[in-house]
Amino acid sequence: MGASDLQTVKVRDVWRRPPLPNLNPQADPLVVMQVDVSDDHATEGNGSAILRLFGVTEQGNSVLLRVHRFYHYFYVPVLPGVEASALNEALNVALSKKHEGMSHRIVVHVRVVTKRNIMYFVPGDPEMQFFRITILNPRYMKETASLLQSGGLRVETPDGLKPLPELLTFESTLDYALRFMIETGLMGCSWLTVPASKYKLVPHGQRESHLQIEVDVDADDIISHKPEGKWLTTAPLRRLSFDIECAGRKGIFPEPQHDSVIQIANYVWDHGQPKPIAKVVFTLKSCASIVGADVLSFEDESSMLSAWREFVRVTDPDILTGYNIVNFDLPYLLDRAKELAANDFPFLGRLRRAKTTMRKTRMSSSAFGTHESRSFSLHGRTVFDMLQLITREYKLRSYSLNSVSAEFLGQQKEDVHYSIISDLQNGDEQTRRRLAVYCLKDALLPVKLMDKLLALTNYMEMSRVTGIPLGWLVSRGHMIKVVSLLHRKSHQVDLLVPDLKRNMGEAGASDGPQFEGATVIEPMKGYYRDPIATLDFASLYPSIIMAHNLCYSTLIRPLHLSHMNSSDYTTSPSGSHFVKKTVKKGILTKILEELLAARKKAKKDLKEAEDPFLKSVLNGRQLALKISANAVYGFTGASVGKLPCMDISASTTAYGRQMIESTKAEVEKRYKHATVIYGDTDSVMIKFGSSTSLEESMRLGEEAATAISEVFPKPVKLEFEKCYYPYLLISKKRYAGLLWTNTKDFDKMDCKGVESVRRDNCRLVANVISTSLELLLKKQDLQKAIDTVKQTISDLLQNKIDISLLVVSKALTKTDYEAKQAHVTLAEKMRKRDAGTAPSLGDRVPYVITHGSKNEPAYSRAEDPLYVLEHNVPIDNRYYLENMLRKPLERIFEPVMGTKVGSLFVGEHTRTVSVVTSKKGALMKFAKIRLSCLGCKSPVNEGAICKYCVPKEAEIYMKHLDSVTKLEKVYASLWTECQRCMGDVCHDVLCSNGDCPIFYRRRKAQKDLDYASEKLQRFELDW
Amino acid sequence: MHSKEQAAQPQSNGENGNHAKVRKTIPIDLEPSKRFVLPSKKRYEPQYAHIYFCRLTALRPALESTARVIFGPPSDKLHHAKRIVNVSSEGANERETVIIGVVFRQMTKPSILALYEQASHDLIPAPPPRATAPYPGADDTVFLEDENGRCTLDMSGFDQIPDAFVTGFVVAVKGKEDHLKGTFKVGSFTPVLAAPQPTLKPYEEDAYICIVSSLCLPQPSFGVELLGEFLKGNTLEEDEAFAMNTVALVITGNVIGHVSDTPTHQPLAVGEKERIASPMVDADRFLSGVASTLPVFYMPGEHDATNYLLPQQAVNRCLLPSASRNSNFHRVPNPLLCEMAGRSLLATSGQNVEDFALYAAESAKDQQNDNQMLERDPVNKGMYEADGERVLEIMGNMLKNRHIAPTCPDTLGSYPFYERDPFVIERTPHIFVVGNQKEFGARRIRVSTEGSQSSDEGMIVEGEICGTVCLVSAPRFDKSGQAVFVNLRNMECCVREFAVDMQM
C-alpha cells in the first residue's frame, strides 16, 4: 500500500457523529447533557461575555450552547454613607482609566442586597447589607475586586470624595462558569432544556465550532434538570483513546526536538457501547494492513499530524483518553508539531480558531501530594488520562500500563522496548505493522481500564453530585468539589463566602490537624487467637460535624461569648465554641445531611434497579456521595484551601479522639473481661474475653455497638461490622487478620500497612510475607509458617530462588543523583556496555544485587538481571536476607514468637550456602573447563561417566533425565504462554515487560534446559 | 480370541531352541524416521514462532491450489488473497475472499501465568499438568493468521467448530470480512487434503506387524507374558503359522507405566532407586526376549524414560542393556516413520490425538447428544479419552490437513524446531497408527485422485494414484490385553486378546 495523503484519507461515515435529525428551533426544544464549559469566553459586541457550554444530545449529536447575558458579580459589605450608584460610578471611573478608549462600562450595576457572612455566628444572627457588584465581563473581575480589596478607591459620599478602606470582598474568586451553573442550578454532566423558540441556530458561515449544533441562547432560558428520575440517564459520550510511538535514537528517550512521531493509534468508542466505532492507526511510512483496523500511512510526518488532527475533528470526541497522555503523548505531539512548524496541527479543540496550548501546572493536595502536570486548552474536550486517574485512586506496586492491566484486566501485556521501536520502524511494512498492532493495543487498554474500573461512570456521578464540570474533577484537586457544594448551599440560604487571601486564613494554618496522630489507643501488640470485634463509627467525621453542628456559620468568636446564653452553644474538646442546632443549623450540617440522605436513596434505588447500566450509575452515585461527604472535613482543614477553618477541623478530630476514648471506657465498664487492644481513627478493636467464641464476640459486638451508640449525640452511630479472627497486631496502622462478617466463613485476609505492596521491595519479600500471614492466620499453623520461612531462607542461600523474585526496580529520574544509588550506577554501567539498550531517563531500571568483590558497596553491586542470567553472575543472597527479608519478617513474627524471632535467621537451614561460579570474572579467564563424571565428578575424557560408575549408569542417567523432562515442561509452558500473550504465533516474542512474573524465568528456563540437555547428551555418545 | 497356554502344547526349549518354525522376515527401512531425531546439540534459543511459520510455508502452496479447485479460480466474485491482510483491500467488501492461515483457538488452556495469580504458597509455580478434560470455552474465539497478521473468524455459520479449526492446522477459508466488527465471516473452508501417496507395490504374502502400547511394566501381567510367548511362536498349533508370519513388533509407547513424580529436592529413600529402576529391568528382560525372535521397535510414550517434548527420542540404551545388544531391537523415536516391506508406516504414541480430542470435545458431545464420543475414564486419572471411532476421525483429519500434531507447540509440548516442522506429512503413509487409545479401531480410507472430492472421505491427492490408508487406533494393552495385527499384504487388521479374565 502506498502512502496516502491527507486528501486521500478515506473518512468512513461511521466515524462521524450520528446524523443530525431535523431540528426546528421554533417547534423543538433542545435537550442536552452538558459535558464541558469552556475556560475562555467569547465577547459580544457590547463587551459582555458569552459562556460556551458543550454538550451531547441523547442521540449523540454534539452541541455548543453560546450562553448570552450572564453577568458575573461579587459582593462587598455596605459602607455607611456610600451609595450604590456612587460606588458604581467610582469603580467605572477607576476602571476606565486603566482601559483607555473602551466604550462600555465594566461595572454594569451595583445593588444593595441583604445577606449574611458565612463566617461566624454573631449573637442575634443579624442580617447584613452588601453591595452586589455586577460586571460586564468576568475578565475584569480580578481588577475590579482588587480596587476594593486594596483600599483607596475614592467614592463620592455626602461628605465629599472619600477614599475607601481595604475591604473584604465576597465570592469574587468563584469561577464564572461555576457561578453560572450555581445560578441556573445546573450540575455537572446533567441535562438541560432550552424550550422551543428560545434558541437560535448559528448559520453555518458564522459558526465558531465544528459541532453539529451551535446555538445562541439567553442565560435565563436555560432550564436545568436535577439528575434524577428520567434525567438519570447519560448521553453517549464519545471517547478517543490514543497512543503514540516515537522513533528514539539509540539509548535516548525520545525527545520532540529530534525524534519523529511514527505512529498514532486510536480507538473511538462511545461510552456504554459494546464495540468501538473506529480503530485507526496513523503511520509514518507504509504499513501492511491490519484486519479490522484502518491503517493510514504517510510519507511525511507533518501530513500525518495534520491528518490526525483532522481525524480528531471528524470523530469529534468528548473525551480524550490514553495512558500518560497528559505528560507524554499530548505534549509530545504539540512540541513535535512546533518543531516541524506544522502550524495547522494545534487545533485539537472544538473551536475552529482556538489554538491548543498547554501549560505546566502544579497541583498540591494533601490527598494526592504534589504533582507536576500539564493542562491543555481543548475547548469542549475533556482529557481523561487513565494513568493520572489510577495513580490517584489506587495504590499499586507499579503504575506501568503492563502491571496496571495485569492488576485490573488480568492480562499481561507485551511490552516493546523503545530501542526496538526504531528498528521496527526502519524495517519494512511488515515490521511497522507489528509496531502498529502493538500501538493499537496500547490505545485499547486505557478504554478497557476505564470501563472495567467504571471510571467514567463514577466521575460523571461525582460531577453530578458535586456540581462541577467533568474535566475539573481530573484537572483540579479535591477542594473544588466542596467549594461547589458550599457555594451552592450558601447561595440557597443567602450566605456569602469571603475571599480569603491564600495563607492568610487562620493562624497556625501551616500544619493542619488532620496530620495529628489519629491513633488514640496505643496498640497492644501481639498475636490474638481470640476473635477481635471491631466497632466502627459510620462516617465518623461527617457525623461529628452534624452532631455538634460544627460549621463556619455556627462558630462563635470568643469576643461574642459573653453575649451568648451558655445553653445555646457547646464548646468542643479543642476549645472552640459552636452555636447549637436549635439556634441555627450550620450549613455544613445541611450539606452533609443532604448528601447522606441522597446516598441512602441512591443505595435504595440501587437495590431496586435491574438495568446493569443504571446500576453502575447508581453505584457511582452513592460512592460519589460518600466521598464528597468525607471531603468536607478535609476542606475545613486544608491550610492552603479556599476556606480553611482550623476551629472546625481541630474540633472534629478532637471529638473523634474523645469518642474513641469514651467508647473504650464504656466497653470496659460494661464488659468485665473485655479489653480494647487498639483504637484507630474511627474504630476500636475489642477482645471480649479469653475464650469467647466467634458467635459470642459477634453478638457482644452487635450489642455493644447499639448500646454505646446511645451515649453519643445523633447521628453518630457505632456499628459492629466485623471480627478479626485471628488477629496479628504489629504496631500502629500495621495489622493483619482474617476478617469475618458471618460465623460460617471468613470474608478475606485483611492486611494494613504490611510490606506487600511497596514497590521498592523485591517480589520475594511480598510473597514470603503474604505466605507467612496466610499460614499464621488462615491455617493458624505457626510451625508451618516458621518452616516455610526457613525453607525460603534456605532456598535463598542455596541459590534456588527464581531471579524474577529478586528483581528490584526503580525509575531513573535524574542523572545527577548526589547519593550513589544502585539503579543509577547500574544504568551507567550498562551504558558503557551497550548504549543502545541501556536504560535512559524515565525508564525503570530493574536490578539484582550481586556478590561483587569484598567491601564493594551494595549500590555498585547492582546488576542487570538478564546479564546475571546470561553470565551466571552470583547473587548476593546474604544481602537479600539481611537487608530485604529480615526486618519485615521480624515485624510480623515478633508478636507471635517474641524474642525467639531471631531463630528464623540462624540455624541449620542457613548453613548450606551455594554460590554459582561466574562465567565472568578475573579468575575464570584462566580456568579451563574439563569434563567430569556425572556420577562421581572425577575427570573423564569423554562420555558421561567414569568406568567406576558404569554399573550405576542407568541410575545416573535417570537422575539427569528427570531434570531435563522437568525443565522441558517449564520451558514449554513459559514460551507458549508468551507466544499466546503476544497475540501472534508466527513471530518471535520481543516482549521486554520486566514486570511480568515470567519474564526472567522464561530466559532462565532456556539457559537451564540448554545446559541440562547438553549433559544428557553425553550419554548418547555411542548411539 | 483368547490365547491360552496349554500344558499339552510342546514347549520350546528356551530362547535358542528352534523348531521347524521359520520366522518370516521383511525388508525394513528406518531411514525416514530420521526426521524425528533431534540433533545431538540441541538448541532451545529459537522460539516457537518458527514452527508455525515453517508449517505455514510448507503447506501454503498446496493449499492454494486446493483452494482453487474447491472454491474456483479468482474472479469478479472471488478474490484469492495472497495474505490475510490483503482482505480489506479495495472492493473486497463486495466479493468473497479466500484466505489461508494457521488456526489459533483462544480458550482456557493450562496456563503457568494463571498459576502465578492463584499461587499463594508457591513462590515459583510448577508448570500446569496437561489438560485432562476438554478445554472450556473452546468456542470463544477462532483466529486465522499468517506471517502478516491475524483475523478473528466468525464461525457463526457452523453448528460446531469443525475439526479443521483446531489450533495449528493450516486451512483455507472462504467468506467476507465484516469491517465494522473486524471479523471474517466464514462461509466454507477446505483443508489442504491428503499428501501424495507412494505407489503401493504388491506384496503377496501374509506378513503381520504386531502393534501394542501401554504394556505398563512392571505391573504383574499375565497378558504380557502371553504376548511374549505368542510372538516367540510358543502358541497353539493353529496359531503357529500366524505367529511365525508376524514380522515385527511395534510398541507405540508406554512400555513402563506412570510413575508418580518424586520431588527432586529430597534425597531418595532407601529402596526408592531400585523401585524406579525396576520397570526398566522388567522391560529389558521382556524386550530382549522378544527381540531374540523378531524385530522389535520401541517407540517411547508419555511415561517412558525419555524426554517429554515431542518428538520423543529413542530410549537410552543404558536403560535397556541386554535388549540393546540385540540387532533385532530398535530404539526409535515417537513419532515413527518407517517402511516395512515397501509399506510406509507412520505411528505416534497417542499424545497428539489425546490433545486434539480435547479441543472439539464439548461441541462433538452436543452434536452426538450423548457421551458417545468421549467418556470419562475413571482409571486413567479422569482423562477424557476419545472412543475408537472418534480417534479414527481425528486421524483422518490429520491426514487431510497433512499434520500429525497440530497442537504442538501450543498445548502439546514440542522441541523448538527452527527450520522445519517435522510433523507436517509430506507423503501420505500406507499405515497410520496411534497408540495408547481407549479402544481398538481400524478403518481403511480411500485416498482418491484430484477432482473426485465428493468421495466419502473427501480426500484429494495431487498425484494420480488412487490408494488407501489403513488407520489404526491401538488400544492400551494394560486395559484391554489387546494387540493389533496389520497384514502388510492387504492392510487388513485384526485384534487378538492376550489376557485371561482381564479385569477392566
List the one residue out of B460, B395, B399 whose CA is nearest residue B426: B399
Confidence of residue A244 (pLDDT cuts 50, 70, 90): very high
Instruction: Spell out the domains of chain A, with CATH numbers in brackets.
Output: 30-235 (2.40.50.730), 238-450 (3.30.420.10), 520-580+644-752 (3.90.1600.10), 758-767+774-910 (1.10.132.60), 930-1017 (no CATH)
Confidence of residue B86 (pLDDT cuts 50, 70, 90): low
Contact between chains at A986 and B180 (C-beta distance less than 8 A):
no
**Phi and psi at residue A80, in whole multiples of 5°?**
-60, 135
* Predicted local confidence at residue B466, as pLDDT: 58
Most confident of A464-473, A767-776, A912-921: A464-473
Residue A418 scores a pLDDT above 90 = no
Contact between chains at A1017 and B41 (C-beta distance less than 8 A):
yes
List the one residue out of A576, A437, A479 whose CA is nearest residue A175: A479
Distance from CA of B308 to the nearest CA of A (A): 5
**Maximum Cα interatomic distance, chain A, rounded to a whole number of Å:** 125
List the one residue out of B268, B87, B244 whose CA is nearest residue B179: B87
Q: What is the mean pLDDT of residues A497-505?
A: 68
Q: What is the mean pLDDT of residues B155-169?
A: 89
* Predicted local confidence at residue A753, as pLDDT: 77
Measured CA to CA, the distance from residue A54 to residue A34 in angstroms comes to: 6
Helix (H) or strand (E) holding A430: helix A429-452
Contact between chains at B44 and A965 (C-beta distance less than 8 A):
no
* Predicted local confidence at residue B452, as pLDDT: 38
Bridge partners (DSSP) of residue A193 are A31, A223
3-state helix, strand, coil in chain A (%, to 5): 40, 20, 40
Percent of chain B's residues with pLDDT above 70: 77
Averaged confidence pLDDT in chain A: 86
As to burial, measured by CB atoms within 10 angstroms (0-12 exposed, 13-18 middle, 19+ buried), residue A475 is buried
Residue A644 scores a pLDDT above 70 = yes
As to burial, measured by CB atoms within 10 angstroms (0-12 exposed, 13-18 middle, 19+ buried), residue B458 is middle
**Phi and psi at residue A81, in whole multiples of 5°?**
85, -5
Averaged confidence pLDDT in chain B: 80
Residue A484 scores a pLDDT above 60 = yes
Q: What is the mean pLDDT of residues A189-210?
A: 93
User: Lowest-confidence range among A597-606, B320-329, B362-371, B380-389?
Assistant: B362-371
Confidence of residue A331 (pLDDT cuts 50, 70, 90): very high
Contact between chains at A962 and B264 (C-beta distance less than 8 A):
yes
Cross-chain CB nearest to B102 (options A291, A961, A985): A985
User: Lowest-confidence range among A129-133, B275-279, B378-382, B386-390?
Assistant: B378-382
CA distances from A315 to A60, A211, A329, A543, B472 (A): 12, 10, 19, 47, 61
Give the predicted TM-score (pTM) of the model: 0.75
Confidence of residue A816 (pLDDT cuts 50, 70, 90): low
Distance, CA of A404 to chain centre: 12
Confidence of residue A508 (pLDDT cuts 50, 70, 90): very low
CB A508 within 8 A of CB A647: no
Measured CA to CA, the distance from residue A82 to residue A160 in angstroms comes to: 10
Q: What is the mean pLDDT of residues A1008-1013?
A: 89
List the one residue out of B358, B355, B387 whose CA is nearest residue B371: B387
Measured CA to CA, the distance from residue A904 to residue A454 in angstroms comes to: 45
CA distances from B27 to A317, A333, B295, B468, B488 (A): 76, 74, 11, 21, 12
* Predicted local confidence at residue B203, as pLDDT: 87
Encode pLDDT of B234-247 as tens digits. Answer: 888 778 888 889 99
* Predicted local confidence at residue B361, as pLDDT: 56
ipTM of the complex: 0.87
Contact between chains at B47 and A979 (C-beta distance less than 8 A):
yes
Q: What is the mean pLDDT of residues B11-35?
A: 70
Encode pLDDT of A730-757 as tens digits. Answer: 888 888 888 888 888 888 888 887 766 5
Residue B332 scores a pLDDT above 60 = yes
Q: What is the DSSP string of B251-317?
A: EES-SB---PPPPTTSPPPTTHHHHHHHHHHHHHHHHHHHHTTS-EEEE--TTSSS-SSBSBPPPPG
The C-alpha angle A651, A652, A655, rounded to 5 degrees, equals: 80
Q: Which residue has the cell 529478586?
A: A806
CA distances from B351 to A970, B103, B405 (A): 18, 20, 9
Residue A966 scores a pLDDT above 80 = yes
Q: What is the mean pLDDT of residues A240-265?
A: 87
Q: Are strands B170-178 and B183-190 parallel, antiparallel or unpaired?
A: antiparallel
Residue B408 scores a pLDDT above 70 = yes
List the one residue out of A550, A508, A498 whose CA is nearest residue A639: A508
Encode pLDDT of A429-479 as tens digits. Answer: 888 988 898 899 999 999 999 999 889 999 999 999 999 999 888 877 778
User: Lowest-confidence range among A547-561, A916-930, B366-380, B435-449?
Assistant: B366-380
Residue A328 is given by DSSP the state I
Alpha-carbon torsion (A664, A667, A670, A674), positive or negative: negative
Neighbours of A350 (CB within 10 A): 26
Q: What is the mean pLDDT of residues A675-703?
A: 87
C-alpha cell at B293: 525372535
Q: What is the mean pLDDT of residues A777-799?
A: 87
Higher pLDDT, B422 or A780: B422
**Phi and psi at residue B457, in whole multiples of 5°?**
-85, -10
Q: Which residues of A touch B109 (CB under 8 A)?
A: 980
Residue A308 scores a pLDDT above 60 = yes
**CA nearest B268 in A: which residue?**
A959
* Predicted local confidence at residue A369, as pLDDT: 52
C-alpha cell at B308: 517429554
Q: Which residues of A touch B409 (CB under 8 A)?
A: 972, 975-976, 979
Q: Which residues contact B26 (CB under 8 A, 6 or more apart)?
A: B207, B247, B248, B340, B341, B488
Encode pLDDT of B336-389 as tens digits. Answer: 999 999 899 999 999 999 999 888 754 444 444 334 333 433 344 456 788 888
Residue B101 scores a pLDDT above 60 = yes
Neighbours of A730 (CB within 10 A): 22
Contact between chains at B413 and A293 (C-beta distance less than 8 A):
no
Encode pLDDT of A67-91 as tens digits. Answer: 999 999 999 999 888 999 999 999 9
List the one residue out of A637, A643, A675 whose CA is nearest residue A656: A637
Instruction: Spell out the domains of chain B, with CATH numbers in brackets.
Output: 4-41+196-497 (3.60.21.50), 49-112+129-191 (2.40.50.430)
* Predicted local confidence at residue A216, as pLDDT: 95
Residue A20 is given by DSSP the state P
Instruction: Please report the beta strands in B320-475, taking only residues with DSSP state E, as ranges in sequence order.
Output: 329-331, 336-340, 343-348, 374-376, 384-386, 431-437, 441-447, 467-475
Whether omega for the bond prior to residue B136 falls within 30 degrees of 0, making it cis, is no
Confidence of residue A34 (pLDDT cuts 50, 70, 90): very high
Higher pLDDT, A909 or A615: A615
Cross-chain CB nearest to B150 (options A971, A977, A983): A983
* Predicted local confidence at residue A176, as pLDDT: 93
Q: Which residues of B touch A764 (CB under 8 A)?
A: 123
Alpha-carbon torsion (A68, A74, A75, A76), positive or negative: negative
**Phi and psi at residue A727, in whole multiples of 5°?**
-140, 130
* Predicted local confidence at residue A933, as pLDDT: 83
Contact between chains at A1022 and B317 (C-beta distance less than 8 A):
yes
Confidence of residue A916 (pLDDT cuts 50, 70, 90): low
Higher pLDDT, B292 or B16: B292
Confidence of residue A910 (pLDDT cuts 50, 70, 90): confident
Q: What is the mean pLDDT of residues A242-251?
A: 84
Whether omega for the bond prior to residue B218 falls within 30 degrees of 0, making it cis, is yes
List the one residue out of A706, A697, A629, A699 whose CA is nearest residue A663: A706
* Predicted local confidence at residue A692, as pLDDT: 81
Higher pLDDT, B357 or A839: B357
Residue A1 scores a pLDDT above 70 = no
> Which residue type, as a one-letter code, is found at position A854?
K
CB B474 within 8 A of CB B212: yes
Higher pLDDT, A937 or B118: A937
Distance from CA of A989 to the nearest CA of B (A): 7
Cross-chain CB nearest to A1010 (options B44, B123, B308): B44
Q: What is the mean pLDDT of residues B451-472?
A: 56
CB B333 within 8 A of CB B252: no
Cross-chain CB nearest to A1006 (options B45, B112, B321): B45
Q: What is the mean pLDDT of residues B182-199?
A: 86
User: Lowest-confidence range among A214-223, A625-634, B172-181?
Assistant: B172-181
Question: What is the phi-psi region of residue A528: left when phi exceeds 0, alpha when psi lies from -120 to 50, beta otherwise?
Answer: beta
Confidence of residue A197 (pLDDT cuts 50, 70, 90): very high
* Predicted local confidence at residue A9, as pLDDT: 63
Encode pLDDT of B205-223 as tens digits. Answer: 899 999 999 888 876 678 8
